[in-house]
Amino acid sequence: MLSEEERQEIEKELEHYEYKRAASIEALKILQKHRRWVTDEGLADLAGILEMSTAELDNVATFYNLIYRQPVGENVILLCDSISCWLMGYEQIRDHMRERLGINYGETTPDGKFTLIPIVCLGTCDHAPAMMVGEKLYNDLTPEKVDEILEQYRTG
pLDDT digits 0-9 by tens, 44-76: 999 999 999 999 999 999 998 899 999 999 999
Q: What is the pTM of this model?
A: 0.86
In a domain, 35, yes or no: yes
pLDDT at 38 over 90: yes
What pLDDT is attached to residue 5?
96
| pLDDT confidence tier of residue 42, bands split at 50, 70 and 90 | very high
Q: What does DSSP assign to residue 112?
A: S
pLDDT at 65: 85
Q: How many residues does the chain have?
A: 156
Q: Are residues 52 and 96 in the same domain?
A: no
What are the residues facing 130 on neighbouring strands?
none
Domain that holds residue 25: 4-63
Query: Mean pLDDT in the chain?
Result: 96
Q: What is the pLDDT of residue 132?
A: 97
Point out the domain boundary residue: 22, 40, 63.
63
Mean pLDDT of 131-145: 96
Given a cut of 90, whether residue 31 has pLDDT beyond it is: yes
Amino acid 64 reads Y
- CATH number at 122 reads 3.40.30.10
pLDDT for 122 beyond 90: yes
What is the side-by-side order of every strand in the sheet holding 136-138? 114-119, 75-80, 131-133, 136-138
> What's the confidence (pLDDT) of residue 156?
80
Q: Are residues 83 and 146 in the same domain?
A: yes
Task: Give the C-alpha distances (Å, rounded to integers) separating 93 from 25, 136, 152.
Answer: 31, 17, 17
Strand 131-133 and strand 136-138: the pairing is antiparallel
Side chain identity at residue 126, one-letter code: D
Q: Cα–Cα distance between 146 and 40 in angstroms, integer?
A: 34
Q: Does the pLDDT value for residue 18 go beyond 90?
A: yes
Q: pLDDT for 80-111, tens place per residue?
A: 999 999 999 999 999 999 999 999 999 999 99
Report which residue type is found at 65. Answer: N
Q: Please check whether residue 70 lies inside any domain of the structure.
A: no
Same domain, 82 and 53: no
Same-domain status, 79 and 43: no
